């Protein structure tokens, strides 16, 4: 299994196994199986990994941006709230679907590599 096509498919919301079928039914609900290749997507468990990484990425970007704006311009607190709260929510929502697709692809690749026979010396 090639890594980059599976990762690219996961990031774009496609089945990591074939790259053709849709990965999601709703915004974040994964399909039970791929419509195109029949791969069992329900067997791939990602847990809360995507949400954890997205919170860290969004928090880092927004936190340091807010700090830079505070140091450079020192705006009132209400302006910070108006700017940074919606930006945090929007960034988290925008990154969540590709993040969950990426985590699904990486978990699928890991499970497949665990199932393959290994050489021993």
| Residues forming a β-bridge with 30 | 24
pLDDT recorded at residue 1:
58
**Has residue 30 been placed in a domain?**
yes
pLDDT recorded at residue 116:
66
Contact 101, 22 (CB under 8 A): no
**Has residue 26 been placed in a domain?**
yes
Domain count, the chain: 1
pLDDT recorded at residue 34:
94
Q: How many Å is the Cα radius of gyration of the chain?
A: 19
| Structure token pair of residue 93 | 């929502």
Give the structural domain span for 100. Answer: 3-115
Dihedral sign for Cα atoms in the order 22, 25, 30, 32? negative
Q: What is the mean pLDDT of each run of 10 residues along the chain (121 residues)?
A: 90 95 94 94 90 95 97 97 97 96 94 70 50
What pTM was estimated for this model as a whole? 0.87
| Residues forming a β-bridge with 22 | 14
Contacts of 53 (CB under 8 A, 6+ apart): 99, 103
Contact 100, 50 (CB under 8 A): yes
pLDDT recorded at residue 94:
96
pLDDT recorded at residue 65:
97
């Amino acid at each position: 299994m090639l890594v980059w096509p599976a990762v690219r498919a996961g990031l774009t919301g496609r089945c990591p196994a074939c790259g053709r079928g849709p990965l999601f039914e709703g915004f974040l609900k994964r399909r039970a199986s791929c419509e195109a290749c029949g791969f069992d997507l329900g067997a791939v468990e990602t847990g809360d990994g995507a949400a954890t990484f997205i919170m860290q990425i969004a928090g880092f970007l927004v936190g340091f941006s807010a700090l830079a704006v505070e140091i450079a311009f020192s705006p009132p607190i209400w302006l910070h709230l108006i700017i940074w709260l919606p930006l945090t929510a929007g960034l988290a929502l925008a990154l969540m679907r590709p993040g969950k697709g990426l985590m699904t692809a990486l978990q699928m690749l890991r499970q497949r590599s665990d199932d393959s026979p290994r050489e021993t010396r």
